[in-house]
Structure 1
Amino acid sequence: MFSIGDFARLGLVSVRMLRHYDAIGLLRPAHVDPVSGYRSYQAAQLSRLNRIVAIKDLGFTLEQVRAILDEKVSTEELHGMVRLRRAQLEARISADLARLRSVEARLRTIEKEGYMRTAEVVLKRVEPVRVAELSARAASYDGEDIGPVIQPLFTELCRRLEAASARITGPGLAYYVAEDDGSVMVHACMPAALESREGHDFAVVDLPAIDTAATIIHHGSMEQVGPTFQALAHWIEENGYHSRALAREISLHCPENLDEWVTELQMEVVPAQ
């Protein structure tokens, strides 16, 4: 038998925690002295304590821990629960990091207010182009919603084009269409030499010409595109234009290092009336 203090040290928990587990019936002492009330524990009870702590640290409430233990969870099942919880935590961490990057990007946009690079905007005609296209829905225009959708689309589109032996004729491009429910349809496109619009496992779309496009070059990751988009918006307004369509994003240079990306942003404009 071990005193509650010794058992706490062996189990790497606090005495207070053991007393609480006793009070709620989750881990009773092996013996309680009827006179002094001192609690004593057996080494065999460390097994249950280990399971209690492991399951609780997975994020379950003590009531849920009790229910799980009453079902006599095996070591293999505990490992499975740990793997599942690890995946959930990794997903949460990834989402939190993406949210943090989004906040930091927004702060950088704020810092650059008043220093917009409007001199770099160029007006030009954009010729029509036939593209192979895959699309999927994102929750919003937020970078943390767009990024996880568009990147796999381009990967899959390139794979399908290679399987079809289709010749890519230009840089990839993306465009977006807002839905009534606030979500966004993300379109990933690759210009390709495709005679037929039928018989493919991707859409073949003829994107129309843009008679007048206000364009600007963005250098760096698309997570940092905010200031460049806003520079374009300021130029359009200050030079007497209205925008008619959401921007197309042309991927001019996409090395592994995202900070070295070069992307042209195109927005159709017309003179303000």
Structure 2
Amino acid sequence: MTVFDRATERRGDAMGAKVSIGDFAVMTSLSRKALRHYHDIGILEPAHVDPYTGYRFYDTSQVDHAHIIRRFRSLGMSIPDIKALLSTDDAAARAEIITTHLEQMEVQLQQTRDTVGALRELLSPVRAAAHVDIRREPPLAVWSVSATIETAEIDTWFGVALGRLRDVVAAAAGVDCAIVPGGLYNRALFLENRGDATLFVAAPQSADPPEGVRAEVLPAAEYAVLTHPGAHNEGIDRSYGALGTYVNERLISHPGPIREHYLGGTSSAPATFTATEICWPILRTTAPPV
């Protein structure tokens, strides 16, 4: 019998003893403030409230119920999920709620590990110098999808735009193939958390873009380029910091949009990249070598 079954059984048992809120707090490790809050939101109501004094009394059969609430709250489960968990007798429904929360905890745990790793790197007294290439990108005919977005929306927008470009390129080529997408990001996205973003791929030959996709030619430009290894969300801020430091200490920064190239995607995993080229626009004071 699970703790949920015991809690359900005891809720239906009228033989429990009534206890004061003070004793119940000691029995459950829930404070008076927490018990009052849980009463107000309807997930742990007292067995009896004195109509004259307002004193709350609980039943000993509610102890397991209270322990469930406290433990899941300590694990970060939301009040609505706890309420759903306690209101159902369906074991499958309870398992789904708990499994979903465990998956969220695993994601948060990985994010915490990544953050700890980044902090240790920041505290390290020795850091490898950033490897930066100076590159002249020639004019490039592309198909592109653009939008003005909030920074918080960029991941969702990126996924939709990438899927759209992948579909139209596959339709034009007649076969599902891997593409090497790139992005252009206006400085306003970094300064104001809102700005223009463009995702592009090299234009297929002898094909016209469908509605919603633009055919354009990216002009030639000079860039300082740093290749960030791994996924885009794995410490790319450090790579941006290293590249920006290099540019501003050794070169002349250009205020144009930041360009990125996403490497390593496959036809089976088009949004999984092994590296990102960050291209910082620069001004050159001498002509590039022929």
Residue number in structure 2 paired with 1:191: 202
Secondary structure of 1:244's partner?
coil
* Equivalent residue number for residue 220 of structure 1: 230
Q: Does 1:171 align with 2:184?
A: no
Aligned-pair CA distance for 1:214: 1.7
Equivalent residue for 1:268, pick from 255, 262, 281:
281
Tell me which amino acid in the other structure corresponds to 1:175. L
Distance in structure 2 (CA, Å) of the matches to 1:149 and 1:3: 56
- Residue 235 of structure 2 aligns with an amino acid whose one-letter code is Q
Cα 1:4–1:96, aligned 2, differ >3 Å: closer, same or farther?
Answer: same
Q: Secondary structure at the match of 1:158?
A: helix
Amino acid in structure 1 at the alignment position of 2:200: C
Q: Which string of whole-angstrom CA distances, capped at 9 and with x for unpartnered residues, describes residues 25-78 of structure 1?
A: 93538xxxxxxxxx988xxxx7x98888778856449xx97xx9xxxx6657x9
CA distance in 2, matches of 1:135, 1:107: 37
Q: Would you say how many aligned residue pairs link Structure 1 and Structure 2? A: 234
Report deviation, 1:125. 1.6
Partners of 1:148 and 1:165 in 2: how far apart?
26
SS in 1 for 2:173: coil
Normalized against structure 1, the TM-score is what? 0.58
Counterpart in 2 of 1:36? none
1:26 corresponds to: 45
Q: Which amino acid aligns with 2:277?
A: E
3-state secondary structure, aligned to 1:193: coil
2:150 and 2:195 in contact (8 A); partners too: yes
What does the per-residue CA deviation read over 1:107-141, in whole Å, with 9 as the maximum and x for residues that have no partner?
53564776422xx323232112122223453425x
Give, in whole Å, the separation in 2 of the partners of 1:162 and 1:16: 64
Alignment partner of 1:150 out of 151, 158, 172 = 158
> 8 Å contact 2:169–2:204 — kept in the other structure?
no
In structure 2, relative to structure 1, the CA distance for the partners of 1:252 and 1:197 (3 Å cut) is same
Match of 2:213 among 202, 213, 233: 202
- 1:172 Cα deviation after fit: 1.6
CA distance in 2, matches of 1:226, 1:264: 13
Distance in 2 (CA, whole Å) between partners of 1:134 and 1:112 is 43
Q: 1:116 aligns with which of 122, 126, 129?
A: 129
Q: 2:193 aligns with which of 182, 195, 200?
A: 182
Give the Å deviation of 1:217: 2.7
Partner residue in 2 for 1:244: 255
Q: Are 2:144 and 2:165, in contact at CA under 8 Å, matched by a contact in 1?
A: yes
Provide closer, same or farther for how the CA distance between residues 224 and 151 of structure 1 changes in structure 2, counting only shifts above 3 A: farther
Change (3 A) 1:198 1:157: closer
5+ residue gaps, structure 2, are 1-13, 19-23, 49-57, 286-290
Superposed CA RMSD in Å reads 5.1
Q: Which residue of 2 aligns with 1:10?
A: none
**Identity between Structure 1 and Structure 2 (%):** 15
2:169 aligned residue: 161
